Amino acid sequence: MQSTELERVTLLLRQMIMAGEFVPGARIAEIPLASRLGVSRTPVRLALGILEQEGLLTSAPHKGFWVREITIDEIADAFDVRGALEALACRRAVERGLDVANRIVLEECLALGEALVAKGALTEADTRSWSEMNARFHEAIVAASRNIPLANALAFVGRLPLVSPGAIAFTQGLEAAFQNMQKVQAEHRDIVDALVNGQASRAAALVQEHAYKSREKLRRGLERLRGEQIVANVPGLKLVVG
Amino acid sequence: MQSTELERVTLLLRQMIMAGEFVPGARIAEIPLASRLGVSRTPVRLALGILEQEGLLTSAPHKGFWVREITIDEIADAFDVRGALEALACRRAVERGLDVANRIVLEECLALGEALVAKGALTEADTRSWSEMNARFHEAIVAASRNIPLANALAFVGRLPLVSPGAIAFTQGLEAAFQNMQKVQAEHRDIVDALVNGQASRAAALVQEHAYKSREKLRRGLERLRGEQIVANVPGLKLVVG
DNA sequence: GCTCGGTTGATTGCATGCAATTCTCTTTGC
DNA sequence: GCAAAGAGAATTGCATGCAATCAACCGAGC
């Protein structure tokens, strides 16, 4: 699938960073990384540049790259941005007329969510398919807006760890995850209802609140981990809590 | 100032693209470009990667880079995104309390705008200082929101040509530019008024409309140029009008 | 004992060589 | 005359060598 080393290295490196393999603020030297990944410095260097553009790394001339320190507040703020953009997407989707293809995707997502909620029990696999469904749901809304810069901007903010709709929900356990899932499913239902009935501002308000709830849920989850300077084992990235 | 070739090449290349030196859709080969800029392929390659991330170029493995074709609709859509984001910035700025530093910047921008409008006559230099003032104005609003992902997202959409507040207004002549300037100045006054009086939703609505007016002004300006497949001499980039 | 300066080591930045892929032009077959 | 296949040229992708810059450590001077 990936025809070049650069793509492979970029993907790998992104996963490594997101998995928290590097201490935030720590320098990432090219040579050890290259030998670790079994390639030369060239693709590594290019990949680092890409990840810098994505906001995961920082660099300075002759000083190299290091992992950006991301605060909880920054993650939370990104959710506000996501809410505002998705609200715009809803308004545009309604104004331009919700097309059939995306409507079908939305309803499929609703059905899948319904099935997961009805099933009651939750395995790890269920959580994964929920996440994928959630990602598809939000993508469909954006696609329905037919606004390319909007989609790009959303992808941009989604590059921050935990912000993308596909990020694994940050909950205490499967039980809490399930309760949250029920709430989210209800919100999804309302959003789709507003969209198919042409209620632009209602849909916009609902997704905005939807994002806000995600934000606060995440914040509560992260706040619990205060105390250590660096939050480890967060699915996504080590975060600076200072 | 720029200590590396990469920075120099990136800046130069961005300017060249924005100035429309390349036909949209045309391939950009590394070797001729490198020899033209007097450097080796390495920094050129890195710069091309950066500009791809910025949305000005596209690439495919083993096929190199080419200039992205940007439609008028895409530019217009980006204005909607800008409006939504700046509206969010206004709400947050008010909610968090407009800080003194940014308030001063806003009022200085107002004063400068007032002076330019009062002056009546408009030179090229006036247009430039107006643009710089406009950029500072919008930056201050974003800075006042103290939301870093928001600022990043706005910078992201602003990378599209003509979308950034600092882009030279697209008007028919100095006379029309002046009339537009008067309107914009009035809008700026209202926005600052809302911000300093803590009227969050009013300020949000005003900036959104502000962006919408910019969008429509630009669209009218570009529509006039339909007919040719490619619009040349647009300050920013050659645009595909199809 | 502390600070400032020099020197050494390491790392980044750039140039270039080589292999792999793609594109193009030509030639052959129908 | 046109289409398809093959060979050659050109370009990208990657590896590596070398120079410039930076950081750290050590020593000297105050």
User: Do B44 and B111 lie in a common domain?
Assistant: no
Residue A161, pLDDT > 80, answer no
B235 within domain boundaries: no
Give yes or no: residues A164 and A93 share one domain. yes
Is B171 in the same domain as B146?
yes
Residues B187 and B165 in one domain: yes
The dihedral of CA B229, B234, B238, B239: what is its sign? negative
**Residues B180, B134 contacting (CB under 8 angstroms):** no
Residue A236: what pLDDT? 42
* Whole-number Å distance between alpha carbons of B124 and A176: 62
What was the pLDDT predicted at B16?
A: 87
B120 touches chain A (CB under 8 A): no
Residue B166 lies inside a defined structural domain of this protein = yes
CB B150 within 8 A of CB B192: no
pLDDT of residue B168 exceeding 70:
no
Q: What is the CATH number of the domain that holds A84?
A: 1.20.120.530
Q: Which residues of B touch A147 (CB under 8 A)?
A: 77, 80-81
pLDDT digits (tens, 9 = 90+) for B28-76: 999 999 999 999 999 999 999 999 988 889 999 999 999 988 888 888 9
Higher-pLDDT residue of A235, B203: B203
B57 and B174 inside one domain:
no
Residues B115 and B166 in one domain: yes
Task: Name the average pLDDT for chain A.
Answer: 87
- Structural domain ending residue among the three candidates B67, B88, B119: B67
- pLDDT in the model for residue B170: 58
> What pLDDT was estimated at residue A124?
80
Q: Which residue of B46, B147, B156 is in closest CB contact with A156?
A: B156
- ∠ Cα B225 B230 B234 (to 5°): 60
Q: Nearest nucleotide by C1' from A62 CA?
A: C12
| Cα–Cα distance for residue pair B101/A222, rounded to 1 Å | 32
What local confidence, expressed as pLDDT, does residue A100 receive?
A: 96
Interface check for B160 against chain A (CB to CB < 8 A): the answer is: yes
Instruction: Give me A101's structure tokens.
Output: 């293809």
Digit-coded pLDDT (tens) for A168-184: 655 567 777 888 899 99
| CA distances from residue A81 to A84, B145, B212 in whole angstroms, order as listed | 5, 11, 19
Residue range B165-169: mean pLDDT, rounded: 71
Confidence band (pLDDT; 50, 70, 90) for A48? Answer: very high
Residues 24-53 of B with CB under 7 A from strand C: 39-43, 46
A30 touches strand D (CB under 7 A): no
Residues A80 and A63 in one domain: no
d(CA A37, CA B21): 39
- On the question of pLDDT at B13 being above 80, the answer is yes
Other CB atoms within a 10 A radius of the CB of residue A128 amount to: 12
Please check whether residue B63 touches A, CB under 8 A: no
Comparing A132 with B165, which gets the higher pLDDT?
Answer: A132
Q: What's the pLDDT score for residue B226?
A: 57
Last residue of a domain, one of B67, B85, B108: B67
Contact between residue B90 and residue B208 where contact means Cβ atoms under 8 Å apart: no
Q: Work out whether the CA dihedral A92, A94, A98, A102 comes out positive or negative.
A: positive
The CATH number linked to A32 is 1.10.10.10
Q: Does A156 touch chain B (CB under 8 A)?
A: yes
In chain A, the number of structural domains is 2
Nearest nucleotide, CA B41 to C1': C15
User: What is the reported pLDDT for B239?
Assistant: 54
Task: For residues B147 and B33, state if they share a domain.
Answer: no
DSSP label of B230? E
**Residue A206: closest CA among A172, A183, A181:** A183
Residue that terminates a domain, selected from A67, A85, A113? A67
Q: CA of A22 vs C1' of D18, distance in Å?
A: 30
B64 touches strand D (CB under 7 A): yes
A212 touching chain B per CB within 8 A? no
pLDDT of residue A234: 46
Shortest distance between the Cα of A55 and any Cα of chain B, in A, equals: 9
**pLDDT, averaged across chain B:** 87
Beta strands in chain A (DSSP E): 27-28, 57-60, 64-67, 230-231, 239-240
| Mean pLDDT, rounded, for A31-56 | 93
Q: Other C-beta atoms within 10 Å of B15: how many?
A: 10
Q: Where are the alpha helices (DSSP H) in chain B?
A: 5-18, 30-37, 41-53, 72-95, 100-119, 124-145, 148-157, 174-196, 200-223
* Mean pLDDT of the region A24-42: 92
Amino acid at B35: S
Q: Are residues B43 and B90 in the same domain?
A: no
**Locus of tokens 């950066």:** B50
* CA to C1' distance (Å), from B133 to D29: 53
DSSP 8-state secondary structure symbol assigned to residue B28: E
A50 contact residues in B (CB cutoff 8 A): 49, 53
A31 in any annotated domain = yes
Task: Average the pLDDT over each of A77-81, B72-76, B220-224 and give the range with the smallest value.
Answer: B220-224
Distance CA A85, CA B147 (A): 15
State the average pLDDT over residues B159-165.
Answer: 80
Q: Could you tell me if residue B237 is inside a domain?
A: no
Structure confidence at residue A122 (pLDDT): 75
A4 → chain B, closest CA residue:
B61
Q: Quick check: A26 pLDDT over 60?
A: yes
In a domain, B236, yes or no: no
Domain span at A204: 72-223
Residues A120 and A19 in one domain: no
The DSSP annotation for B125-188 comes to: HHHHHHHHHHHHHHHHHHHHHT-HHHHHHHHHHTTSTTTSTTSPP--SSHHHHHHHHHHHHHHH
Cβ of B166 near strand D (under 7 Å)? The reply is: no
**Same domain, yes or no, for B42 and B156?**
no
The whole-number Å distance from A63's CA to C7's C1' is 20
Q: Please, which residues bridge with residue A195 across strands? A: none
In a domain, B201, yes or no: yes
Per the CB < 8 A criterion, the answer to whether A67 and A24 are in contact is yes
A56 has pLDDT over 60 = yes
Do residues B66 and B58 touch, judged by C-beta distance below 8 A?
yes
Residue A228 lies in a domain: no
Nucleotide nearest to A42 (CA to C1'): D14
Q: Give residue B180's pLDDT.
A: 87
| A123 and A98 housed in the same domain | yes
